[in-house]
Structure 1
Amino acid sequence: MRSITSVAAALALAASPAAVPLSAPPAAATAATTPTTTAATAAATAATDDNDNDDEPKWRKLTSFRISPEAPHQNDVLRVLLHCPVEANHAILGSTAFMLKGSWRRYREVGVGLTSRGFGRRAVIISRYAPPGDHVVRMKCVKVTIHKPSGLRKVKVLSRDALPLTVRHFHIGQYF
């Protein structure tokens, strides 16, 4: 937490140094200024915080995803719906539940392409050979940029999220 806000700083600069202490909250700083600085007060309250942009909805910055069914069996298909911040152009899902038959790797990552609004969906198969029990599905929203002449790729992680997943034993009755 900052010791001084942008409103208090603008008011401190507009008022005399003895009138407003730097550690005063914005309400106390407004009360301490003289009526001649109303233009400075209006300008300071208009620029309260650069990070709060009211033009962009708050849901565009959220990171979330949903997996259905919530308690799948081995050899089931998971449907994953996800949302990343608008700046992201790719998402990566990873879990030990996505293990493939014959693979020695226990943790598998699956890529998901995103729309321009940050939404994505993907079907992921849980193998018959995936270990039953509790697993964690982790998601990373990333922005991938490629330098065309050299072909080098730069991956910047924008946000992360995780969900628990319980894989149940395979039984033939799940198909009837």
Structure 2
Amino acid sequence: METKHLILRNWQESDAPALYQLCRDETLRKSGVAFLESIQDAEEAIQFWAKGDQFKAIIHRESTELIGFISLGDMNRYEGYVELEYAIAADYRNRGFATEAVKRMVDYGFSELGLAVIAAWVRSHNAESTRVLEKCAFTLEGRLRKHARDQSDTLCYSILREEWESMTISGV
């Protein structure tokens, strides 16, 4: 999948060192990204993610670097209800890449996978991520107090298929 600045592609074994470096970022760890303790851990994660089409590496089109990841994962709710997760490397933040990747993944989820709901949970102190979700037309559903492992609040967002369809029809 492509956007103006990004390529969202399946994982490759050669992505492991870059993924490991990405996951060492303290800001991402505070936002809930799993900590990978070694390149071997990254390789194992990639082997798992490579089994499905819903876990994508985010590649910067110009530099061809791995700059993040994005996924639509099963939340064990019902068929068609998934959770969106994403992360962008520090050097590439605040440049619109997360918004671009999220919009493309949402389009993919609704148009190609036939999803009903895409939810996203974000820690309340992660203002950058909440801005991304709001730019992508997600609705704040509520706050789970002291829900995260660090005892911070979790904000729950979602976008419904019919909301996406009305935006697509109206050209938003």
Same structural fold, with TM-score higher than 0.5 when normalized by the shorter chain = no
TM-score in terms of structure 2 length:
0.23
TM-score in terms of structure 1 length:
0.22
Structure with the larger strand share: 1
Tell which structure's C-alpha radius of gyration is larger: 1
Structure with the larger helix share: 2
